[in-house]
Amino acid sequence: MGGGSLSEYERIAHSKITRKFRSAGQQLLFSRGRRGEVSDANGVPYIDFVMGYGPVIIGHADAQFNEILCGYLGNGVMLPGYTTFHQEYLDRLLGERPGDRGAFFKTASEAVTAAFRLAAMRTGRLGIIRSGYVGWHDAQIADSLKWHEPLHSPLRNKLRYTDGMRGIGDTEPVANWVDLRLESLAELLERHRGRLGCFVFDAYLASFTTPDVLRQAVAMCREAGLLTVFDETKTGGRISALGYDHDNALGSDLIVIGKALANGAPLSILAGDADLLALAERARLSGTFSKEMIAVYAALATRDILEKPVGDAPDGWTEIGRIGTETAAAFTAAAADAGVEALVGARPVLGGGMFELVYHDVELLGDKERREALLAELAAVGILLLEGHPSFVCLAHRDIDWGDLRERARQAFEAWNATAGAGRG
Ligand SMILES: Cc1ncc(COP(=O)(O)O)c(C=O)c1O
């Protein structure tokens, strides 16, 4: 095809998301991760608050994690069917939910697709009410919003991914619950009455509302005959062992847990009542790699570490919440040091396992270019984080020198403010 050969970057087909990290205008290619840091191909280190978009929870190349994982590898990687390791893992994960079964997947998009199919089989209806980013498969992403934008952001409502998608249309409507008001939900339930089988909610959006509203939302959807799915892909195994729905007793029919279960290895679980999960056979909810074992070994190793006390904290999840809270405070303090606290700061999300930048200025909130320019300035001082998306911390971030982080962030905020000022002047 065409003339010359592809450069090292062009060989990989990216979505926009993996092109985000740049330094001096160049896309970064990473070569190594150690504890809470990563290095690029030139050996430049960065404090990593991306954490692979959430899966890394203990840290990169953690010695204890690697040792436990390697110990398991002598049993093989794939056997003819499920194994005692899968069984043990579900016993540990779902110990507090004795009536539940779990189905194994590699990605959360798969687990959410499985939940959609169970809902359709249970209710006989294909339509979905969706709130939040719930995966990249067609019915999950087609005609969706910028879900991670705050409710009042001018960027939130722009419809995206409108081309080339199936599994969406008049007979199988996919309706967005945009503003998280119960009146709007009631209106959607009424408008698509008789065609809706499933309600799915990204637990991260719980940080935009209250447990009480969500409890009512789940109850209203169940009342209307929908199967309810709480998607704990970002939160389960991160803000706590099982996530928001379980901790707040919301009572959704199914929960999806993904990302942080296995410190970076691909594992996602769909859990719910044994009767409902018994439909898995008729629904054909598995593929070749569903029974792959490296991710299960990694998940067992992750639990071995997180279940134990860390410092003064009773377990790793509590300590991670403390670390994320401290990280957000360091960025907020740095913004004040740089005199930009009226524009930007940071807040812990759902207890601190995640944190995010907050924009106090509406003009800045609507200015994606200027927001992304801040990420470039942070990368220039050796800090990688996310924008328009929560950022993530791991246990190894306990090592952070908080004074150094605050000072580096101050430099980035100052440099950003200076260039923005020059541009606008
Ligand atoms: C809430 C939620 N659901 C589903 C997904 C899809 O997960 P995966 O990328 O593993 O398919 C994501 C990914 O970011 C997510 O945040």
- How much is the average pLDDT of 161-177? 91
pLDDT value of position 27: 81
pLDDT value of position 234: 98
pLDDT band at residue 424 using 50, 70 and 90 as cut-offs: very low
- How much is the average pLDDT of 73-87? 98
Residue 172 Cβ inside 6 Å of ligand 1? The answer reads no
Which of 147, 234, 386 gets mutated to test ligand 1 (max ligand atoms within 8 A of its CB)? Answer: 234
Q: Which residues of 400-422 are buried (b: 16+ CB within 10 A; e: fewer)?
A: beeeebbebbbbbbbbbbeebee
pLDDT value of position 9: 63
CA distance 148 to 319: 25
Domain 16-61+312-424 has CATH 3.90.1150.10: yes
pLDDT value of position 25: 75
Neighbouring CB atoms inside 10 A of 269's CB total 25
Q: What is the DSSP string of 278-321?
A: TTHHHHT---GGGG-SHHHHHHHHHHHHHTS-BTTBSSHHHHHH
Name the nearest CA neighbour of 105 among 288, 298, 306, 273: 288
Quickly tell me which residue has 């606008």 as its tokens: 424
Neighbouring CB atoms inside 10 A of 291's CB total 16
Q: Name residues whose C-beta falls within 8 Å of residue 410's C-beta, 6 or more positions apart in sequence.
A: 334, 337, 338
pLDDT band at residue 17 using 50, 70 and 90 as cut-offs: low
How far are the Cα atoms of 34, 94, 123, 413 from residue 275, in angstroms, in the given order?
Answer: 43, 16, 14, 53
**Residue 2: pLDDT over 50:** no
- How much is the average pLDDT of 98-116? 97
Element containing residue 34 per DSSP (H, E): strand 30-34
- Shortest-distance Cα residue to atom 11 of ligand 1: 109
CA distance 246 to 241: 9
Domain boundaries, the chain: 16-61+312-424, 75-306
Which of 134, 138, 289, 386 gets mutated to test ligand 1 (max ligand atoms within 8 A of its CB)? Answer: 134
- How much is the average pLDDT of 85-95? 97
pLDDT value of position 6: 65
Q: What percent of the chain is predicted at pLDDT more than 70?
A: 96
CA distance 40 to 53: 17
Question: Residue 425 is encoded by which pair of tokens?
Answer: 């002047």
CA distance 235 to 3: 46
Which CATH architecture best describes the domain 75-306? Answer: 3-Layer(aba) Sandwich (3.40)
Residue 231 Cβ inside 6 Å of ligand 1? The answer reads yes
Residue 109 Cβ inside 6 Å of ligand 1? The answer reads yes
pLDDT value of position 336: 98
Average pLDDT across the chain, whole number: 94
Distance from the alpha carbon of residue 109 to the mean position of ligand 1, in angstroms = 6
**Residue 401: pLDDT over 90:** yes
CA distance 49 to 331: 12
Least confident range of 144-158, 194-208, 315-329:
144-158
CA distance 379 to 370: 15
The answer to whether the beta carbons of residues 255 and 229 sit under 8 Å apart is yes
Distance from the alpha carbon of residue 4 to the mean position of ligand 1, in angstroms = 36
